Every structure is written in C-alpha cells, then in structure tokens.
Amino acid sequence: MQIFQIISPDGYIAKLHEQKEHNDMLGARFHFPFVSDYIRGAVQEEKPCIFSGRSGNAQIGIKTDLAEDGGTPVIEGSDIFVEAKLQNLNPLLGNALDLFKKGDEIGRLVVMDPELRIKDVRHYLHKRLFVGKKTGKVYYEGFDIRQETDPATGHTCDYIAMELEPYQYCFEPHAISQSSINAVIKKGRSALNSIRSRMPLNLDNTWLKPGDLFVGAIKISLGDIYGIIDAVTDPLDAEIEHLPARVLDPFRTFRDRQVELYHFGTDAVALKKIRVKIRFYRAKNPLTVPLEKTKVKDGYRLSDLLTNAEIANLFSVMDEKSLGLILNKANFIPIPKALDPFGQAQLEIIRNAILESTFRKNTPLVQARGNGKFQNTLDKLSVLGGVNSRVFIGRAFPDLAVVDALKTSGLRTFLIHMNNPSFADDYIKKMIRLTHSDHSGCEFLRYDSDTDKLYSFYHGCFMEPDDKERFDQVRYWFAFYGSHTNEADNQLTIDLINRLALRLGYEMGIVHGGGPGLMKDANDLARQYNIMSVGIAIDLEGEHQTSLTTCDGLIKYNEGLRLARQDHLQKLSNLPVVNTGGYGSAEELSITITSMKLHENALAPVILLDPDNLWEHARKQTRKIASKKYGPEFTPRLIQSCSTAEDAVKILLGFLENPDQWYRKNRIPREDVNQARVKSARIRQMALGQDRVETFDLPNFRLKR
C-alpha cells in the first residue's frame, strides 16, 4: 500500500556517470518507478520537493543531493528520473563512492506540498505527534514550537526545533572495511551496528567541530502525519547541515529517530545549542485499527495491526519444507531448510535469505494462497515501524544460533505457530534478555490455533498483548503452593483468594505451577475476579500433570528443569502461600525460606495454610536451625501458620498496610530488610527485565479504612 500524498517509492541508481579524477563527487541518474499520479502531478506543477537520501547511507556520511545542472525531474509514463550526486563526507570510508552500483536503492522523492502542511502543531501534539522527554503528566520538554511564514502560501505555520538526545553513534575504525561499507550500501540501517557503537554523551561539554560528522538522535513518534527535517539546523549562522535522510514516515517513526549532522562552517558549536527543525504534513491514515496514543508513541507492531484470523492467514504462505519466512514490507522471502538444520550450512542459507529480504521489491510479492483477503493484511503491515518492520515467521521457535543470526541482521520480531510449547532454561533467559534489553527490543509472538489467540512474550511468560498493561499494574504477586492431587482440600486457599481479591483488586496477581489441583483452582478463581494469573509450568505429562492453557500468562519448561522452573516462580512472586501439599510443596517451602535467607526475595510473611498441622514439624525445624545458629535468627519469625483464611488475611493485610511496623513487631532486623529490598530488586531486573518491583518499602494507603 502506498501512502501517496507526498512520498514516492524508493528510487535506485539507473546510471552511473563517469567520476572525475580526484573528486569526491559521484554523479548518477535515479529511477523512481510506479510513481503515483499525485507525485507526477505535483512535479509537473513545480510544487516544492526534495531528493531525500536513504537513512543507512546518510548515517555513514554519504550526502545525496540533486545535481546543480540536473534540471527538473523527468517524467516518463508512471516513472520519474532524477539527476543527482553523491558525496562522501566521512574520511573513514575511503573510496566508498566506488562501491555504489547500478540497482542500489538510495533515494526518495518527497513533495512538500504547501496545501498539506500542518499549520497548528499544538492541535496534533500528544495525539498524533509525541516529541521530547516526558517530565510529568502530559508534559514534555526538549523542544520549542516556533512560527514562520510559509513562502509558498504566505500562511503562518508552526514548526518545532528539537534538542539532541544525550548519546551518539561512534564509528569503529577497526571495524570499517570495504565489505562492511558495501553491506550498509546494500542493506541499509540493518548493517550499521557492525561498524559503530552507541555511546552516552554529555551535551553540555561536547562541541561539534568544523568538518565533523555527528550521528545522534532526537526523540519523536508520529501517527498519521509526516515530518520533514530541514536541511538547515539552528543556530542558522553555524552552517551545520542535516544530511538528506530527512523524511519521518507516518507510523514507522517512533521513540528515538537518528539524525546525521555535518559541520560545513568554521567555528565549533556546542551540541547543547543545536536544534533540529521539523515541519509536518498531513498524510492519509492507512490503518484500519484505531489510532491510539500509546501506539503512536511506542510504534505500531504486528500485534497492533492484525486480527488473530489475519495472523493465522500469514502462515498460509509458508512452504511446508521451509524453515520459515522473512516478512519485510509486504514481501515474503522463504528460508529453505538445510539437510542439517543445526549446521553451518543452515546459517549460511539464513544469511542469504536475510540479504535477499533487504532488497525492496517495487511490487509486493503476494503468493496465490490464503482466503482472498490477503492483500488487506499486507496493506495493514505496510505501517510496521522501526526495528519491528521485519518479521520471521515459522512453525517452531528457531535454534538460538538462528535467532542470533536474524537479530544481527536487524530483524527483531519472531512470529511462531506452536500450541503450548515447552522451552529450555537458556532459551527463556535469552528471550527475556532480547525482549527487555534497551538496545534490542525484540518481540517473540506465539499463535496458538487451539485457542485461536496470539501471545506475546513479556517478562518471562507468554500473554495476550492487551494483558501486558494488567501485568504491570500488579503490585503483589501471590505464589500459591499445594498439591495437584484430588485428595488435597483446597477450600482454605479458595477462601483466602476470595477475601484478598475483594481487598486488593487489580494490584493482586497469582503465580502458580500451571498444572492441575490447587493450581487450577487458583487460576479459575483468578479468572472469575479478573485478577492476573501466571502459570510457570513444566512438561510433566508423563506424571499426569498436564499444564493449563487458560492462564493469563504462561511459560512451560522442558522436562527435567524442575529447579529452573521453581527459580522462575520464586523470582516473579513476592508473597508465598503454602497449602496442604506433598513432597513438591515441601521442596517449594524450603526453597522459599532459603531465598529469603539469602535476601534474594524481599522479606515477607510466609503463610502456611495448615488446618491439620501438616507443616508444624517444618516450623519446629526452622526454629531449631536458628537456635543452633545454622541459619539467620529472623527466618522462623517470617513463617506464619494459619488455620483459617481469616487469620491469613489479617496477617497479610497488616503487613501490606505498614511493612516497617510489621518488621519491628516481629523483630526482623532492619539491615536484613534493607539488604533484601536492594538485592531482590536487582535480581528481578537482571532475571526478568522488571524495572518496577514491589519490595515492601512503602505502606499501602489504599488498604486503610
């Protein structure tokens, strides 16, 4: 689908002109195929237009511009031809201009139609346009709204001037080679990370010197409007120019947008004084889903755009014999499966498919399959943005080496069709790191045909994308341990959940083992109260413990990873409740106590629901261990035995209403409390990628009557 108002399809080099000796300029003729009637009409009417470079090339210092004697663009049928020039402004690249060949995509033709220019930026601000850094509720800083007179219309129009973000991309001279530069020219931005590093930057004491190239960023997200970066930056007399990758696309521009500045002047300029100027133009909204503030701000992803039926439809274009597909801007590139899918040959096949996927096709490749609505699906996918614009589609989660190969290429979204899969511990840890790393931003999606649902991996488990917000609202994660057998009486736990749900509401979440018995009862009750329920399951089908599929969040470990699964459960939860149970519950109780003794969990009451004194010997044992100084003296005081749900509620709510008072009353040393708060938060950030963790350092005023 073409968003046709102001921008053409990417242009490629149709002819290279002979390069003059000792000249850092390269002349070329660019071909823009299948240009819309609007673009051709705007060119004929001589409306303002720019020849914008491709982002990856501008970020290595290649300036693209119209040739001085090139005349106006030439229209031939549905095509447009432009005479342009390339200039290398990066001394580290050497003879980079020699690497450009016929067929290389590098240019875009953009019409800056005065009739489409947005006059009042404030009308769009924080609705379809998010700029700057949020410093409070609906308050942003780091930019100014300014006014000017549009020379084409004479109307007063707004534009914004933006500060730079406090980091930059630095080239690694020892990583730059002819091969790596050629990869950027052919692939674009996906190959840039191999030759540069992102580094923090103090804007207050850093200067841009004459002849320097600076690659940094501004913070901006766009909905259904275009942004065009001005070639001239402020201050006007500094002669600092923004290189020609100047188009901010609707929907695809979100969060940090890279900028490339070159100093053509004679005096050094402090980076804190530089402002990037942006004007805005209306565009046709190609979405059939509602325009939402959060999506505009964070970028539209696959799960935002497609229904579950359309997700299922994507798998219809995949060959049974292929390892998977790479989806890139509505083009599908199959990845053939090697005879040995775990060998080096398979990785080489993947690299070849990745390279092919970076070559943009002028006409999307749509295979003759699906239910006849496939083109509508592709139209929606045309607005996939940023690092999530390329998707790996497969029927099984790929080997970690394959994930690394795809991620290195710039691919960040993995869509897999698997019903209730189980994972190795290192695979789960890898997904957590890739999903919640600042510089990675990967997304692992799983479509389950049994439930006809799409699940997204988030903080260690798969859940429906809409449940991520519910997950983040949970403050108190209760871990319920107990027997999976029919012989165990779970009524006490059910009574406790009923009472807690009425008092804690959405701040309460339930973590359990994702199996039958008590786990299923707790999960069913959570669903009844609309409380977030997460199952940390394990493949124990041989032991008659089939995992649940009705949890809000679910992850299942491979057979034999009992301790890894228990460790995951411990790290997600912060309030343990142990019901009548068997050997597994005894093990879980011991692990819970040990985790608190090691300060790996924030200190909290360990509730034993024990109407028949099953756990009394365990309590005596902890007291004996403490008396002999084999363990901390405070540990037995955390263990609270309750014969009724009412007793458990009284202890738990008393603790949550004023944790420090409860610690003093039960003689829990302040140094242990503080150490557990700091250590448990650090561990959860490292293990699950959670930035906000409840460590019971603030009273819950919401509970007070």
Give domain limits for the chain. Answer: 1-111, 114-166+201-286, 301-458, 472-703
Q: Are 285 and 226 in contact (CB under 8 A)?
A: no
pLDDT of 482 reads: 78
Check whether 138 has a pLDDT greater than 80.
no
The rounded distance, in Å, linking the Cα atoms of 386 and 505 is 37
Query: Residue 534 is encoded by which pair of tokens?
Result: 């997460």
Pairing mode of beta strands 225-229, 269-270 = unpaired
3-state DSSP assignment of residue 631? coil
Share of the chain above pLDDT 70, in %: 93
Paired with 406 in beta bridges are none
Through-space distance between the first and last CA atoms of the chain, rounded to whole angstroms: 57
As a CATH number, domain 114-166+201-286 is 2.70.40.10
pLDDT of 231 reads: 93
Check whether 343 has a pLDDT greater than 50.
yes
Calculate the CA dihedral of residues 16, 20, 22, 24 and round it to 10 degrees: -40
The rounded distance, in Å, linking the Cα atoms of 65 and 62 is 10
What angle, 0 to 180 degrees and rounded to 10, lies between the N-to-C axes of helices 583-597 and 616-627?
A: 30
The rounded distance, in Å, linking the Cα atoms of 33 and 28 is 16
Paired with 538 in beta bridges are 557
Q: Of 15-29, 154-168, 417-431, which range is least confident?
A: 15-29
Q: Exposed e or buried b for every residue in 590-612, given b needs 16+ CB within 10 A? A: ebbbebbbebbbbbbbbbbbbee
pLDDT of 137 reads: 59
CATH topology of domain 301-458: Cytidine Deaminase; domain 2 (3.40.140)
pLDDT of 169 reads: 93
Query: Could you say which DSSP state residue 117 is in?
Result: B
Q: Are 258 and 216 in contact (CB under 8 A)?
A: yes
- Residues 507-533 have pLDDT tens digits of 999 998 887 777 888 888 888 888 999
How many residues can be counted in the chain? 705
| CA distance readout (Å), 236 to 240, 263, 273 | 8, 12, 11
Placement of tokens 């069913």 in the chain: 524
Check whether 673 has a pLDDT greater than 90.
yes
Check whether 1 has a pLDDT greater than 50.
no
The rounded distance, in Å, linking the Cα atoms of 548 and 520 is 7
As a CATH number, domain 472-703 is 3.40.50.450
pLDDT of 704 reads: 59
Residues 6+ apart with CB under 8 A from 612: 580
| CA distance readout (Å), 531 to 457, 528, 640 | 19, 8, 25
List the one residue out of 673, 664, 695, 697 whose CA is nearest residue 682. Answer: 695
Matching fold, domains 114-166+201-286 and 472-703: no
pLDDT of 684 reads: 93
pLDDT class for 23, splitting at 50, 70, 90? low
Burial of 266 by CB count in 10 Å (0-12 exposed, 13-18 middle, 19+ buried)?
Answer: exposed
The rounded distance, in Å, linking the Cα atoms of 122 and 146 is 11
Supply angle C-alpha 77, 79, 83, rounded to 5: 125
Q: Are 619 and 608 in contact (CB under 8 A)?
A: yes
pLDDT of 278 reads: 97
Q: Which amino acid is at 231?
A: A
pLDDT class for 400, splitting at 50, 70, 90? very high
Neighbours of 698 (CB within 10 A): 11
